[in-house]
Amino acid sequence: MVEEYVDTCDPCARTKIPRHKTYGLLKSLHIPKRLWDDVAMDFIEGLPLSEGFASILVIVERLSKMGLFIPCHSTITSQDLAQLYLKHVFSKHGRPKTIVSDRGSEFTSSFWRSLCQLLNIEQSLSTAYHPQTDGQTDRVNQNLEQYLRLFTSYQQDDWSKLLPLAEFTYNNTEHSTTGVSPFFANRGFDPSFDIMPNTVADSPAAHPQANDFVARLGELHQHLRGQIAEANEASKTAYDKKHLEAPDFQVGDLVMLSAKNIR
């Protein structure tokens, strides 16, 4: 009798603190049919200042998982974003059909919306706390963000100079989803990078600074590969540890909606 009353008690349901994990396991977005038809974009912000840059624009091609890491100023506008996209993506791969992003001001401005509409690009903005877009694409890819934050904290004030190497290493490393590197998925081969730190010191290179530069590249490359492996440990498993599969609600079911994260 008491249990039945509690189950049907409206004030109880509204004020009861949930004891279960958050509902909603990580869901996958639709699979693109062609390379560079679907891209995901996001910013990693609040980084140590490096040559005036304090954030990274991350663009990921969703089929091959190829990533572009572009250093940005913290004051970037939607017009600046359009110029960066034109320079780094559109000029090489053409117009995408879909751009997935969060609801940052750069992606929700009237300029960016109008631009996408004029170019016939579908905008897929993440819905707050939705396991399909927010869970997988907000921050583009959690383990990728972790990798870049590890990289910038390790490099500190010169990370912007070495960001191209971080991009190269990421794209030349086997992706857990595809089983091949993003480079291979895009071009059908893996570029070589055969610098071994322990062999550079013995090289008879004429200029010691050239030796030092190449040695640092080799060491950093190995370090970055380790960081990618470390970051890949997280992702879906870490997300799902804190979530339960959502209940199988049917049309007509009455449910209580938490307004905690609704503004």
Say what the pLDDT of residue 147 is.
77
Say what the pLDDT of residue 195 is.
61
218 backbone dihedrals φ, ψ, rounded to 5°? -65, -45
How far apart, in whole angstroms, are the C-alpha atoms of residue 106 and residue 77? 6
Say what the pLDDT of residue 233 is.
64
How far apart, in whole angstroms, are the C-alpha atoms of residue 95 and residue 104? 21
Whole-structure pTM value? 0.69
Residue 136: what residue type?
Answer: Q
Say what the pLDDT of residue 134 is.
39
Among 212, 218, 211, which residue's Cα sits nearest to residue 168? 218
Domains observed in the chain: 28-242 (3.30.420.10)
Q: How many CB atoms lie within 10 A of CB 215?
A: 19
Say what the pLDDT of residue 51 is.
92
- Each of the 263 residues of the chain gets a pLDDT tens digit; together they read 555 655 666 665 555 556 556 655 555 566 788 999 999 998 988 888 999 999 999 999 988 889 999 999 999 999 999 999 999 999 999 999 999 888 888 999 999 999 999 999 999 887 554 544 534 444 445 667 777 877 777 767 888 888 888 898 889 888 877 888 899 999 898 888 766 555 555 556 557 777 777 777 777 767 767 766 666 665 556 656 766 676 777 888 787 776 665 55
Say what the pLDDT of residue 109 is.
92
